[in-house]
Amino acid sequence: MKAVIIGTSGHIDLALGVRDRAHGVSFVGIAPGSPDEDARSFFVDQLEAALIPWYDDWRAMLDRERPDLAVIAPFFHLQSAVARECLQRGIHAFVEKPMATSLEDLARLRATHAAGRAKLCPMLPYRYHPEFQAAWLAVKEGLVGEPLVAAAQKSYKLGTRHRMYTRRATYGGTIPWVAIHAIDWLWWFTKGGLAEVVAAHTTAGNRGHGELESSGACFYRLANGGAASVSFDYFRPQAAPGHGDDRLRVAGERGVVEVMNGEAVLATHDAAPRRLEREEPRAIFLEFVRHVETGSPMRIEPEEAFAVCEVALKSREAADRRVPVKLR
Amino acid sequence: MKAVIIGTSGHIDLALGVRDRAHGVSFVGIAPGSPDEDARSFFVDQLEAALIPWYDDWRAMLDRERPDLAVIAPFFHLQSAVARECLQRGIHAFVEKPMATSLEDLARLRATHAAGRAKLCPMLPYRYHPEFQAAWLAVKEGLVGEPLVAAAQKSYKLGTRHRMYTRRATYGGTIPWVAIHAIDWLWWFTKGGLAEVVAAHTTAGNRGHGELESSGACFYRLANGGAASVSFDYFRPQAAPGHGDDRLRVAGERGVVEVMNGEAVLATHDAAPRRLEREEPRAIFLEFVRHVETGSPMRIEPEEAFAVCEVALKSREAADRRVPVKLR
């Protein structure tokens, strides 16, 4: 299977980091998503990936290499257009989230995907994180009862970010970029049960990052009458261990399951709180390659990925307009 | 100083538990807040407080004992009326939260308090909990910067509760009873900066407790553009250690402070996360007694207590009506 990389602005390490285990996949080309991406120096300097042939123009690369699969991570506002062109050419797309930064782009991408046979997978890898999978299994098995209240947290270090992040037009916003993972958790755990969103975000405290929202919160009414909260921020101090502080707590009549510090803990009425067993970590890119080759199931299917992206964009709208937005 | 107890439906242990240290305070009477309270058996059986003279009628008790101070904890819907009568008689009131279960009752209580000279303190004791005080001091000293995002959690065990809890008319609701503590934290940490609320609550999963809301969430827009989330529930499993699982996280440009498991932890850019030193625990009842005797300052003044109660009642309204409610 021939693979290419288009753009280096997102988590291409999800693919390159497991390159040695991607048997049968050869990376035949790499190109920036746009001329202003500075991708070449990033690659040569930081990823030592110069052994992959370099192209200045990704369309020329596709014309010449005719790859089977593309890893797509340009500036975020370009993701949907690049993914669409790949899908139209029959190239399977492993595409950074948010797959689109506007509802219009998302609708176009959905239609293009539906019209063809190429497969698509978003870089929403948490369903393959063992602690989240363990928590989800506990909920799926009914161990906490119907999920009635949930609280999620995404907290990242800000550092100094590329100018792409400093403009809504190229970045898309912190809800679609950061909070989308928490939205994915909630969508997954509640079986798509998010009914309405209210949200807020602010650029205050963003340390010179222009339009980038430093922090905010989303509130979701659940279809079952419950409620879910998401807190997101770039305030994780530089001196703290690790880049992110991901948390999820889901509770119901029978108990509480919680993910924190890379562990999942279940508390129920009949036993003391206990750590849940975790599966071996799986790489979403390898799962996608296998899916393309054999049709094996993915934990996140395209329709769910589109829905999660839609909720993220509508949550951003709720924050921008300061009004509740219906989700179903 | 002569003290009485009216009602046993709330946290009268906040006073009785420190009775030995309340020098100069003698408890001269105890009475139910209403005939249907079953207070006498509760007292005789559970608190071994029978040494305090028993009255069937709290007004008769006030007439006869002419106390200086009343500990007020009847069925929750009666709190404001009992507190008002005490204040009108010049009796200082240590009153269970929510001090009123309707905005009308709250307005009456405020007016009565303003018209007299008797002092008032709500049973909102967290400002005297060492870990919350430590976290608040860190925020006050600017160690996290302007608070821009906050998330709070109140989670209690449900157990089997008195029928008073099963009716909105007597109980008032889980937001004014449970979430009010988190509202108090947010009000305190943001200097009253709560600008708008959206909320949800549900009776699902309440294990036969009628109208009692098992869980829910509140979302607050902050006056500075930030956002705060509150998650509350009665889903803490019976087998979990301790009754409650109180959490608060407040973050800004400079760092993150967090309360969990009775500890406060501060993370800033220049140092690894560290536990904050905690003062010796203080009892809010003893602080109130000293305040009455000497005029020493309280960490929660009546105006703030009224404001916190008002936010709680408006948050309940937001949840009932499913619409945003302005707070300023």
- By CB atoms closer than 10 A (0-12, 13-18, 19+), residue A219 is buried
At residue B298, does pLDDT exceed 60? Answer: yes
In order along its 328 residues, chain A shows pLDDT tens digits of: 999 999 999 999 999 999 999 999 999 999 999 999 987 777 666 666 558 898 999 999 999 999 999 999 999 999 999 999 999 999 999 999 999 999 999 999 999 999 999 999 999 999 999 999 999 999 999 999 999 999 999 999 999 999 999 999 999 999 999 999 999 999 999 999 999 999 999 999 999 999 999 999 999 999 999 999 999 999 999 988 888 999 999 999 999 999 999 999 999 999 889 999 999 999 999 999 999 999 999 999 999 999 999 999 999 999 999 999 999 9
The alpha carbon of residue B74 is apart from the nearest alpha carbon of chain A, in Å, by 28
Q: d(Cα A203, Cα A229) in Å, to the nearest integer? A: 20
The per-residue pLDDT of chain B, averaged, comes to 96
pLDDT of B273: 94
Q: Using the beta-carbon criterion (under 8 Å), do B215 and A227 form an inter-chain contact?
A: yes
pLDDT tens digit string along B51-69? 889 899 999 999 999 999 9
- The residues spanned by each domain of chain A are 2-123, 126-326
Interface contact flag, A151 B217, Cβ < 8 Å: yes
A211-225, B30-44, B200-214, B284-298: range with lowest mean pLDDT: B30-44
Dump pLDDT digits (tens) for B16-28. Answer: 999 999 999 999 9
B2-123 shares its CATH topology with B126-326: no
CB A63 within 8 Å of CB A84 = no
Q: Do A252 and B271 touch (CB under 8 A)?
A: no
- CA closest to A323 among chain B residues: B324
Could you give the CA distance from residue B271 to residue B146 in angstroms, rounded to a whole number? 19
For β-strands B271-275 and B263-268, DSSP reports them as antiparallel
Q: How far is CA A88 from CA A29, A93, A117, A305, in A?
A: 19, 10, 9, 19
- Superfamily of chain region A126-326: Dihydrodipicolinate Reductase; domain 2 (3.30.360.10)
> In the predicted model, what is the mean pLDDT of residues B239-253?
94
pTM recorded for the entire structure: 0.97
pLDDT digits (tens, 9 = 90+) for B32-52: 999 999 877 776 666 665 688
Q: Give per-residue pLDDT as tens, A49-84.
A: 558 898 999 999 999 999 999 999 999 999 999 999
Across the interface, do B224 and A239 touch by the CB < 8 Å criterion?
Answer: no
User: B197: nearest CA in chain A?
Assistant: A198
Across the interface, of A217, A235, A267, the residue whose CB is closest to B219 is: A217
pLDDT for the residue numbered A210: 98
Query: Which amino acid is present at A296?
Result: S
The residue assigned the tokens 């006056």 is B223
CA distance B4 to chain A (A): 38
Is residue A185 within 8 Å of A154, Cβ to Cβ?
Answer: no
B174 CA to centre of own chain: 12
Q: Of the candidates A151, A155, A273, which has its C-beta nearest B240's C-beta?
A: A273
Pick the CATH number of B2-123 from 3.40.50.720, 3.40.190.10, 3.40.50.410, 3.40.50.300: 3.40.50.720
